[in-house]
Amino acid sequence: MADAVARFVEAAEALGFPVVVKNMDQSTHTALEAANAVGCEVGAIVKSLIFEADGSPILILTSGPNRVDTALLGQELGVKLGKADANVVKEVTGFSIGGVPPFGHKSRLKTVIDSDLLRYEKVWAAAGAATSVFEISPDDLIELSQGVVARVC
């Protein structure tokens, strides 16, 4: 677990983003757990979800309470979206579900960012492990993930 967080910190620093990771005593695996741990609204939690878009992995960064509408987003992107399994997530990101950060993955992923995250001055995302999070502005999230903002639900 510590290795995954260290890999994320190293990747963030390589992108010029000096990340400050908060290691929590409680799980931040789910959006609700993360919000309770850091003391913010569930909507300010970034869920990093891997889907398959016509067979290729795609990262969807969505606001905590939101569920991705695969039909809506698939239509907007012009692809058929399906959820990737845990093996695919680990293979393409290098991180396990519940700890996937929004950038710093093993391979470069096309990224879509939930427009609802833009309502917040700061948001919280996983930092490589199910008990590690970091704070980031939506603008930095867009820049570092090289994501495209869209309505995902």
pLDDT class of 107 with cuts at 50, 70, 90: confident
What is the CATH number assigned to the segment(s) 2-150? 3.90.960.10
CB-based contact 134:125 (threshold 8 Å): yes
Per residue in 36-76, pLDDT (tens digit) is 999 999 999 999 999 999 999 999 999 999 999 999 999 99
* SS3 state of residue 35: helix
Q: Which two tokens stand for residue 59?
A: 């990262």
Residue 108 neighbours by CB under 8 Å, 6+ apart: none
Backbone angles phi, psi at 96, to 5 degrees: -90, 150
pTM of the predicted model, to two decimals?
0.95
Domain ranges of the chain: 2-150
Residue % of the chain over a pLDDT of 70: 99
Dist CA 151 CA 149 (whole Å): 7
Residue 139 neighbours by CB under 8 Å, 6+ apart: none
Average pLDDT over residues 95-102: 95
What's the mean pLDDT when you consider all of the chain? Answer: 94
